[in-house]
Amino acid sequence: MSKPKVMTTFKKLPVEIQEQIKLAYPRGFEKFLIRFKNHKNKFISALPYETDDRDYMVKMSVEEAQRIILNDDDYNDSGHLKEKIKDSFEAKYDDSDDEDEDDLDIDEIEIDEPVED
């Protein structure tokens, strides 16, 4: 089953998706924009971003990409995501803990029979 494809602007995205995009593109967006023709045969540019359940195309020009980064306090003067913000987003959206939920702590194991050395 294929995922839904969503074309939208950065402003219209939920904050959680905006934060995940910032984490995926910590040095800005402009170098990752792709250009293609829309259904009206007009060139547009967009930033691709994929989640587990959707494929996003975030419409923006190079100028818009630069303006977003310039006006966002999460980025420093060099246009890079601030380390403190990056660490915060990584902690917030890190799903590696989910994979370990089924792991047992050694103290949780019950032994029915004595183990001989």
Q: In which residue ranges of the chain is pLDDT below 70?
A: 1, 95-117
User: Minimal CA–CA distance to 88: which of 104, 67, 109, 74?
Assistant: 74
Q: Give the model's pLDDT for residue 101.
A: 47
Q: Give the model's pLDDT for residue 104.
A: 46
CA distances from 101 to 54, 69, 75, 96 (A): 25, 36, 33, 9
Q: State how many domains the chain has.
A: 1
Q: Give the model's pLDDT for residue 72.
A: 96
Sign of the alpha-carbon dihedral angle for 91, 16, 65, 76:
negative
The reported pTM is 0.77
Does any domain span residue 10?
Answer: yes
How far, in Å, CA of 2 to CA of 81, rounded? 32
Does any domain span residue 9?
Answer: yes
Does any domain span residue 59?
Answer: yes
Residue ranges making up the domain that contains 39: 5-89
How far, in Å, CA of 10 to CA of 12, rounded? 5
Does any domain span residue 94?
Answer: no
